[in-house]
Chain A
Amino acid sequence: MNKPFSDAKLHDCRDAFTAMLESLAVADDAIVAVCNDSVGSSKLGGFREKFPERLINVGIAEQNMVGVGAGLANGGKIPFVCAAAPFLTGRALEQIKADVAYSMTNVKLVGISSGMAYGELGPTHHSIEDFAWIRALPNVPVIAPADRIETAAAVKWAASYEGGCFLRLSRVGVPDILPEGHVFELGKAQVLRNGSDLTIVANGVLTHRAMTAAVMLEDRGISARVVNMACVRPIDEAAIESAAEETGAILTCEEHTTFGGLGSAVAEIVVETCPVPMKRLGVPGVFAHTASANVLLDDFGMSPAAIADSAADLVKRKR
């Protein structure tokens, strides 16, 4: 069997984030980084060396961190507010709502080590509710890049976009998927692989697993389309509608609770405009047991083989 990424080098998307941020900051001195004692975990050490005045560390104080970001934006800066995703989105959710979303400020929220990247550290450090929380708010696009290339493209886009956004970045290594030179477009998904029997929609660390599953399905005589859906909001309705019309079934995979995330967002479009059988893979509304990030994904039915099995079951439900 052909495994597409078996020999691929894995990359930590945080490196792509900081490399792009540093390069943008050279050209635009309005760009600043704000963090909560997370210089190391946000990989901002290089930024601090190059731009010591523009690295604003507020200490362990996430509510203040997001407010400071909004104030910096008011003062003409382009703040990238970086913190571990669970604390950025959980602790400072009201600041994100009032100071960023409602106030429509130019604050780039960067949730680092998102999903279950912190693995064995446990559910306090997992961020598997953030799609649901943030996509419920107007004015804050929610973006989960699939690899280092999409991460860099999304960071570049964010710096030039006039408005707030939430970038959800993992630390778990992923192979290259998108072509070098990929340009990020808000609300635009990519068909990574064409197929006719069903569509697998994924983002973040699940995209390469979905690609591998599609290859496994091919061996089983099932033709699976794979759509990379980095934007949970605004979501690419056209890509979902054509997936439903052309493949007749949709399987979603996400490193998030199945309550309110990518699968829910896709299902909202499907039920209203193009009803077809669906299955949503994710964390099934529980706090995770002790395991590393990738093992947790496997345990929650999102190994490539398990994704392929779910896809095969879903295809049987068609018509």
Chain B
Amino acid sequence: MWNYEKRLQFPVKIDCTSPAVAKVIITQLGGPDGETAAAMRYLNQRYAMPNRHVAGLLTDIGTEELGHMEMIAAIIRQLTRDMTIEDVKKAGFDTYFVDHTAGIWPQAASGMPFSSMVFQSKGDAVTDLFEDLAAEQKARTTYDNILRLVDIPDVREPIKFLRQREVTHFQRFGEALRLIQEDLDCKNFYAINPSFDNPSKK
């Protein structure tokens, strides 16, 4: 169960219109390393996670990622809500506009629609946590690239905040991996799946 809090985790207040910038930033909504993928990855992985502390971490980080989807959508909305048809054409936003007008739809910057194929839920604690560590780094790199491409200060501030969250989540997932490794039988380190081949279950 979730409750909705009527605020962003970090404020988004953008005064200018730029569909060109929105076209790039939308990749963090529906792209391969975006916030929708992050939320779906952690919230689906948690059911098979054998360690309760780590399942709790997946729940809490997954919940925060839902808030990050909302921040990215807010950035795109504010960059596009006052655009004219001339702005659309000049920015090359027409290929998005023709299907979605100024609606928010999760896709990568390339136009590839959001897909579950961009993440895994493998049902193996070690496998899933390595995926999560990699995912946080991939998202951090994407935010670095956005900061290389975008010079609007009002856009950069929330993007810098989101980039920093990837660093914190990477740290927490590293600790989670350590907790899982402490649970493993040292003779079977990496050889068994603690989520499935649990000897105490049989």
A associates with B: no
Which B residues fall within an 8 A CB radius of A? Answer: none
